[in-house]
Amino acid sequence: MSPHLTVYRWAYTMTLSILHRVSGIALFMALIGMIFWLMAAASGQAAYTEAMRTFASGPGKCLAAVALLALCFHFFNGLRHLAWDLGWGFERAQARRSALMVLVATLLAAVVCFYFLFRNGTGPT
Amino acid sequence: MSLRSPLSRVLNHGTARSGVSHWRSQRVSATALVPLSAWVVISLLALPTRNYALVSAWIASGLHPVLLALTILLAAWHAWLGLAVVIEDYVEQSLPKLLLLLLNAFANGLLAASGVYAVLRIALRSVA
């Protein structure tokens, strides 16, 4: 923990850094949901249909959308971290440019994901 | 030969000798999850409907159960490592920290085992 963190002037790259953790925690919860969904499918048709009443409902699909947004961000920002681990993109201008690229890629990918998620509307399908 | 003084070893100062392996495991699982997570999400979203028959058939077909089980194991491993760092960073008191780290390990272990069991059950049912 760094108590002196507050002395730095805010930069949007810092927001991305903390969002990586936030989205990671969100994805852990999404994994729990995913495993519940798989367990329902493993239990048979009746259990799956019952579970899909919740998963495919309006609130269920909205939570899935949040999970997909978190995944898109964590995915692209994770690629950025892996590039850093290879020693690429450490210059300040490069880090800012890659941050912007992550945000644009996240939004584009999330919009495509949302289209396929909501394409059949909500309700058990 | 260690260059650390006996006192620093007793007081647990200095390296714990596990920092690099944790860091490396996180990167290895991340790298593997790049193609695997994209494949799972794109495949599930691309299904025309998500009814029982179609979802079971997709999970059971070809190498899907193997890759799906691998994805679940890697995701739980990656989550375990990542959440451990978050807990170590933000929880200061040692007992809550220890309990949360244990809970993190057990929860992700349970998720991994449940996920693999579910995938196998779906896959083997359609074979039988």
Chain B: residue nearest A113 by CA?
Answer: B45
How high is the pLDDT of residue B5? 75
* Average pLDDT per block of 10 residues along chain B, 128 residues long: 72 70 94 98 94 95 97 98 96 96 98 98 82
**Does A111 contact chain B (CB < 8 Å)?**
no
CB neighbours of residue A11 within 10 Å: 13
- Test B55 with A35 for CB contact under 8 angstroms: no
Asked whether B65 and B121 are in contact (CB, 8 A), the reply is no
**Does A25 contact chain B (CB < 8 Å)?**
yes
- CATH of residue B118's domain is 1.20.1300.10
How high is the pLDDT of residue A7? 76
How high is the pLDDT of residue B103? 98
Report the number of distinct structural domains present in chain B: 1
Asked whether A82 and B52 are in contact (CB, 8 A), the reply is no
CA angle B37, B42, B45 (to 5 degrees): 125
Within-domain flag for B1: no
- Test A27 with B86 for CB contact under 8 angstroms: no
Within-domain flag for B98: yes
- Test A82 with B27 for CB contact under 8 angstroms: yes
Sequence-separated (6 or more) residues with CB below 8 Å from residue B72? A35, B111, B112, B115, B116, B119
How high is the pLDDT of residue A12? 83
Rounded-to-integer distance, Cα B52 and Cα B67, Å:
20
Q: Which residues of B touch A75 (CB under 8 A)?
A: 34, 37-38
pLDDT in tens, A17-39: 999 999 999 999 999 999 999 99
Give chain B's contact residues with A (Cβ, < 8 Å).
27, 30-31, 34, 37-38, 41, 45-46, 49-52, 55-56, 59, 72, 75-76, 79, 82-83, 86, 89-90, 92, 108, 111, 114-115, 117-119, 121-122
Asked whether B68 and B119 are in contact (CB, 8 A), the reply is yes
* Residue whose tokens read 């949040």: A66
Within-domain flag for B80: yes
pLDDT in tens, A35-53: 999 999 999 999 999 999 9
Which of A35, A41, A53, A36 has its CA nearest to residue B121? Answer: A41
How high is the pLDDT of residue B1? 59
Chain B: residue nearest A2 by CA?
Answer: B89
**Domain ranges, residue B123:** 6-127
How high is the pLDDT of residue B20? 85
Instruction: Provide ipTM, 2 decimals.
Output: 0.90
Q: Which long-range contacts (CB under 8 A, 24 or more apart) does B4-10 make?
A: none
Pick the CATH number of A8-118 from 1.10.3110.10, 3.40.50.1370, 1.20.1300.10, 3.30.1110.20: 1.20.1300.10
CA angle A116, A120, A122 (to 5 degrees): 110
pLDDT in tens, A83-113: 999 999 889 899 999 999 999 999 999 999 9
How high is the pLDDT of residue A5? 67
Average pLDDT value for chain A: 92
Query: Residue A57 carries which DSSP code?
Result: S
3-state class percentages of chain A: helix first, strand second, coil last, to nearest 5? 80, 0, 20
Which residue did the predictor score with more confidence, A123 or A110? Answer: A110
Tokens of A101: 């690229």
Average pLDDT over residues A55-73: 97
- Test A52 with B50 for CB contact under 8 angstroms: yes
User: What is this structure's pTM?
Assistant: 0.89
Rounded-to-integer distance, Cα A35 and Cα B34, Å:
19
